[in-house]
Amino acid sequence: MAAVAQTTPLSRILWPALAWTIALIFFFPIFWLVFTSFKTDADAVKPEHLFFFTPTLENYANMTENYDYWRFAINSVITATFATAFALAVGVPAAYAMAFDPSRHTKDILVWMLSTKMLPAAAVLYPMTFLTKNILGLFDTHFLVIVVLCLINLPIVIWMLFTYFKEIPKDIIEAGKMDGVSTWGEIKDILIPLAWGGIASTALLTFIFCWNEAYWTVRLTTIDAATLSKLIEGNRAPEGLFFGRLSAVSTAAVGPIVVLGWFCQKQLVQGLTFGAVK
Amino acid sequence: MANRTLPRLLQAPAVIMLLLWMLVPLGMTLFFSFIRYVLNSLRRPEWTTPSIENWRGLGNYKYVLDAKDFWFAIQNSVFIVVSILIFTVIFGLLIAVLVNRSFPGRGIVRVLLISPFFVMPAVNAVLWINMILDPVLGLNGLAVAGINDLVAGLREFPVIGQFFSMWPELKPISFRASQTSAYAVIMMVTWQWTPFAVLIFMTSLQSEDESQKEAAMLDGASAWSQFINLTVPHLARPIAIVVMIQSIFHLSLYAEIEIVSRGNGNKNLPYLIGEFTSNNIGAASATGIFAVILANIIAIFLLRMVGKSLMD
């Protein structure tokens, strides 16, 4: 690493201290959310209890009663898990074919797939509502949310998998072909074990994106398939009365995902820039 | 290589799914944008079913272009997006350069810095507008009240009390009004997306040519001139990518606006479409087509760039 500014003792302390300060400032809102979740609703708005208070777990204990948390959480888990699995099931074969058997159109197909991701969701809001409500009868079902989450993440899934698969030497796959292994056998016995790390991080990142999605999950559900985004969105203005309990349910909604996110920082760059930044 | 059937077959499900996803709803939007179509009408009940007989040509587009809301929404969308871009790129650059050196606890600093990016947008908005920015009960209100109390206390003292009695009573800013809630949205999204910029700039910095920097140092170039002459040009491409990706994401910003400014007039294009959708589908669709055009202008540049780096 550059030894540029580390020559003087002052800068040896100053720059790390500055980096730490900025990191703590950025983390502070999350800390504050978690901190407030241990206050009672009454304590949460009293200045004298800003930093000193008797911590309580009642907000967490009452999450089900106050917000029906688990119903929304289970919906989030179900939709995000199945959407991720579905996207991988469709994405792995497609990326496999593109990486090991590219045609002259492969590049165009990849770029086109990405372009579908750039369609503003709001532009097709009414048609989606109309189709799912009046024609398909799928409005507010888990199936619909799973399909939509899968579709909006599919381009990123294929793109990420493609960049991982491209790193695998073609000879290995060709050797399998010589031995008369079927395509399914190649994918199952050669590709998946070799690209396991890449597939896992793609899955992790897709799961996070599905979990945090806040347009379609809010607009295409009412009760049955409503996810945590919908739950939080529905409690947007607590008028200060329920800061404690709202913090607890928010912490429960984002905590696991933030921790998951720590493990896929590297993949995030690849997943979000489509391999354009290395 | 002779047989193309199998690879085509393997790609088919993905291609067909995405094709349907893109063409069907967008085709419907396009159709609705050319007809008179409202959800409720007592006078003209025939307009409540989508039909070619209610053809309006470019009438919906004209209606939208004449609407004051539309131009305000465009302006406001651009204002919000550009503000967020400026802040995230500047903060992102400075932080990335700062963290891109070894120091004790660098790993933890990275983890703390990236965390905001994984917070779901709905929680981000609820957290900021209530717990942090509320003018009475949030930290914003409490901090201002604290300062006022402190000043009031100091007024009691002789001599310096004279000085502090000239200080004004501070009033906390309310972030729920039309204009200020746009600032609140900019703040919370900047908080969430600066980590993204940091992460990308850091990844890119790691591929920077160290020998060039060392040569510059030997030539006696200052840290600042190294930053401007070597680091910033090296980061030109990642900056462009950060700007384009964020533009596309933030042009369709919705949850934050819905939570922070519902009904207070601070609207962007997606929010306006949502408002039209409650009755005037024709206008909503025409606005949607404008949003698609706007996003496409940016997307074309981005896709070109990404496409170039694709096969190497």
Whether B100 and A19 have beta carbons less than 8 Å apart is answered as: no
- What's the pLDDT tens digit per position in A31-85? 999 999 999 888 888 878 888 888 889 889 888 888 889 999 999 999 999 999 9
User: Residue B312 has what pLDDT?
Assistant: 52
- At B193, is the secondary structure helix, strand, or coil? helix
Q: What is the mean pLDDT of residues A22-31?
A: 95
Nearest CA of chain A to the CA of B261: how many Å?
10
Q: In the Cβ-directed half-sphere of A272, how many Cα atoms lie within 13 Å?
A: 27
**Does the structure show a pLDDT above 50 at A160?**
yes
Least confident of A21-30, A235-244, A252-261, B158-167: A235-244
CA distance B166 to B47: 65
Q: Confirm or reject contact between A47 and chain B (CB < 8 A).
A: yes
Q: Is A272 on the interface with B (CB under 8 A)?
A: yes
Residue ranges of A 161-200 with Cβ closer than 8 A to chain B: 183
Chain B hits for A123, Cβ within 8 Å: 26, 29, 273, 288-289, 291-292
B 169-198 → A contacts, CB under 8 A:
191, 194-196
Contact A26, B190 (CB under 8 A): no
Asked if the Cβ–Cβ distance from B281 to A233 is below 8 Å, we say: no
Q: CB distance from A151 to chain B under 8 Å?
A: yes
Continuous H helices in B59-176:
59-66, 68-99, 106-114, 121-126, 139-155, 160-164
Average pLDDT of every residue of chain A: 87
At residue B177, the 3 state secondary structure works out as coil
Query: What integer pLDDT is reported at residue B310 of this predicted model?
Result: 62
Task: Specify the pLDDT at position A267.
Answer: 76
Total beta-carbon pairs less than 8 A apart between chain A and chain B: 310
Q: Tell me the percentage of chain A whose pLDDT exceeds 70.
A: 95
* Residue corresponding to tokens 């905001």: B116
d(CA A33, CA B188): 14
Residue at B195: amino acid letter: P
Q: How many Å lie between the alpha carbon of A91 and the closest alpha carbon of chain B?
A: 7
Interface test with B, best of A53, A67, A126, A167 (most B CBs within 10 A): A126
How remote is the C-alpha of B175 from its chain's centroid?
18
The model's pTM is 0.89
Tell me how far apart the alpha carbons of residues B70 and B21 are, in angstroms, rounded to a whole number.
27
Q: How many CB atoms lie within 10 A of CB A246?
A: 28
Is any Cβ of chain A less than 8 angstroms from the Cβ of B134? yes
> Which residues, 6 or more positions from A142, have their beta carbon under 8 angstroms from its beta carbon?
A75, A78, A79, A82, A224, A225
Distance, CA of B174 to CA of B57 (rounded, Å): 44
d(CA B217, CA A276): 30
**pLDDT tens digits, chain B, 312 residues: what are they?**
446 788 888 899 999 999 999 899 999 999 999 988 888 888 888 888 888 888 888 888 998 898 888 999 989 999 999 999 999 999 999 999 899 888 888 889 999 999 999 999 999 999 998 889 988 888 888 889 888 888 888 888 888 888 888 888 888 888 888 788 899 999 999 999 999 999 989 888 887 777 777 788 788 888 788 888 888 888 888 888 888 888 888 888 888 898 888 778 788 898 998 888 888 899 999 999 999 998 888 888 878 877 776 655
- Check CB contact under 8 Å for A254 and B119: yes
Residue partners of A110: CB distance under 8 A and separation at least 6:
A98, A158, A159, A162, B307, B310
**Closest Cα in chain A, distance from residue B115 (Å):** 6
Confidence of residue A7 (pLDDT cuts 50, 70, 90): low
How far does A115 lie from chain B, in Å, by closest CA? 7
Chain A contacts of B294, Cβ < 8 Å?
120
Please enumerate in sequence order all residues whose Cβ is within 8 A of that of B107, keeping only pairs 6 or more positions apart, or say none. none
- Distance, CA of A80 to CA of A160 (rounded, Å): 18
Which has the minimum average pLDDT: A9-18, A93-102, A232-241, B70-79?
A: A232-241
For B112-138, how does the pLDDT look when each residue is reduced to its tens digit (9 = 90+)? 999 999 999 999 999 998 889 988 888
Of A255, A250, A252, A248, nearest to A44 by C-alpha is A248
| A229/B120 touch (CB, cutoff 8 Å), yes or no | yes
Per-residue b or e along B105-130, where b marks 16 or more CB atoms closer than 10 Å to that residue's CB: ebeebbbbbbbbbbbbbbbbbbbbbb
Q: Which residue of A has its CA nearest to B272?
A: A122
Q: Where are the domains of chain A?
A: 9-59, 69-273
Instruction: Please work out, in degrees rounded to the nearest 5, the angle formed at the alpha carbon of residue A274 by the alpha carbons of A273 and A278.
Output: 70
Distance of CA B182 to the CA centre of its chain: 11
Considering only residues B300 and A28, tell me which one the structure prediction assigns the higher pLDDT: A28
What ipTM, to 2 d.p.? 0.87
Contact A213, A149 (CB under 8 A): yes
Nearest CA among A158, A26, A208, A273 for reference residue B243: A273
| Angle subtended at Cα B310 by Cα A172 and Cα B4, rounded to the nearest 5 degrees | 55
Q: Chain A within 8 Å of B302 (Cβ-Cβ)?
A: yes
- What structural domains does chain B harbor? 27-119+188-308 (1.10.3720.10)
- A-chain residue closest to B8, CA distance: A97
Q: Which fold has domain A69-273?
A: MetI-like fold (1.10.3720)
Contact status of A234 with chain B (Cβ, < 8 Å): no
